[in-house]
């Protein structure tokens, strides 16, 4: 598949997706579409057993929704700028509203696709991740963040908005409701050590070791029983909508499905024989 903003490199089961939409990986409908297509491609490719998302920009991992990316079909040329400022603003928002709604809907769908990918995913955060950028990282299973200049936060209230890419749902699951309320309402920005201390990121690492430690985790996961990992992810996501009894039934169903996989047989045999398992991902 051809991508404008994404590249995928795969080595020994570890896929690395580089997101490159200058200047700071602002989320547009086009980027969201590409990421969704990428998730479909990876889902059908057994050679990819773990996925890392990275940015080539030193300052930014992802800055959130690109509200300045106005499609050509939205005609702003006929707005009467001689009107009072509040009327100009009202007319501007009236014309932009359908575009913004469509972009947010697509961004939500994209983040759901990342969260539901049947492979473990890692966000390698070397620069700022604000708003939708942090929401994207929250859709990943692991977040490794560099100490130093990078900051993360759901900063939408600072411009009169609220998180709309799943942050109000996923942040409480990561840090608890009370902490999420404080972070969302204040829009506060956190460094790596504070983010790690409250569970917002998996690990804070020194800037110079970010890539090495992220790839080490990725290679470790890629050697694992990724079919089981994928089903574990699936039930954790579904738990948000399940009763206890429904969750227990899902656990039984997924265990039965895993009994038909090579990895479950290999895992049990390796345990009984006292050796390290050699998983193949299915």
Which one is catalytic: 26, 135, 146, 165? 135
The tokens for 257 are: 């499905």
Say if CB 18 and CB 6 are below 8 A apart. Answer: yes
Q: Using CA atoms, how far apart are residues 119 and 13, in angstroms rounded to an integer?
A: 11
Given the residues 132, 133, 153, 218, select the one marked as catalytic.
Answer: 132
Q: Is 281 an annotated catalytic residue?
A: no
3-state secondary structure of 58: coil
Residue of 65, 113, 139, 174 marked catalytic: 65
Q: Which entry of 123, 137, 156, 225 is annotated as an active-site residue? A: 156
93/74 Cα distance (integer angstroms):
11
What are 279's two structure tokens?
A: 């998983």
CA 2 to chain centre: 21
> What b-and-e string marks burial along 207-228, b requiring 16 or more CB atoms within 10 Å of the CB?
eeebbeebbebbbebbbbbbbb
- H or E element in which residue 51 lies: strand 50-54
Whole-angstrom Cα distance, residue 70 to residue 50? 34
132 catalytic, yes or no? yes
Burial class (CB in 10 A: 0-12, 13-18, 19+), 137: buried
Query: Has 65 been annotated as catalytic?
Result: yes
Q: 40 catalytic, yes or no? A: no
Catalytic residues: 65, 132, 135, 156
């Amino acid at each position: 598949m051809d991508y404008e903003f994404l590249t995928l490199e795969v080595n020994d089961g570890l896929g690395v997706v580089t997101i490159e939409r200058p200047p700071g990986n602002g989320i547009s409908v086009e980027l969201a579409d590409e990421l969704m297509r990428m998730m479909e491609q990876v889902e059908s490719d057994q050679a990819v057993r773990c996925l890392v998302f990275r940015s080539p920009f030193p300052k930014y991992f992802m800055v959130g929704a690109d509200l300045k990316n106005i499609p050509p079909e939205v005609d702003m040329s006929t707005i009467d700028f001689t009107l009072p400022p509040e009327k100009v603003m009202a007319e501007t928002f009236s014309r932009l509203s359908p575009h913004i709604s469509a972009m947010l809907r697509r961004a939500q769908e994209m983040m759901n696709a990342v969260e539901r990918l049947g492979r473990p995913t890692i966000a390698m955060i070397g620069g700022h991740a604000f708003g939708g950028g942090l929401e994207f990282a929250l859709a990943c299973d692991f977040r490794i963040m560099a100490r130093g200049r990078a900051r993360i936060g759901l900063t939408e209230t600072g411009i009169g908005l609220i998180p709309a890419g799943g942050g109000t749902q996923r942040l409480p699951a990561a840090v608890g409701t009370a902490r999420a309320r404080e972070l969302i309402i204040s829009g506060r920005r956190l460094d790596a050590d504070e983010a790690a201390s409250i569970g917002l990121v998996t690990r804070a690492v020194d800037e110079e070791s970010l890539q090495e430690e992220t790839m080490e985790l990725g290679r470790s996961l890629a050697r694992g029983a990724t079919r089981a990992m994928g089903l574990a992810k699936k039930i954790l996501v579904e738990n948000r909508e399940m009763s206890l009894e429904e969750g227990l039934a899902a656990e039984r169903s997924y265990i039965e499905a895993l009994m038909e996989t090579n990895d479950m047989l290999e895992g049990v045999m390796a345990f009984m024989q006292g050796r390290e398992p050699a998983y193949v991902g299915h």
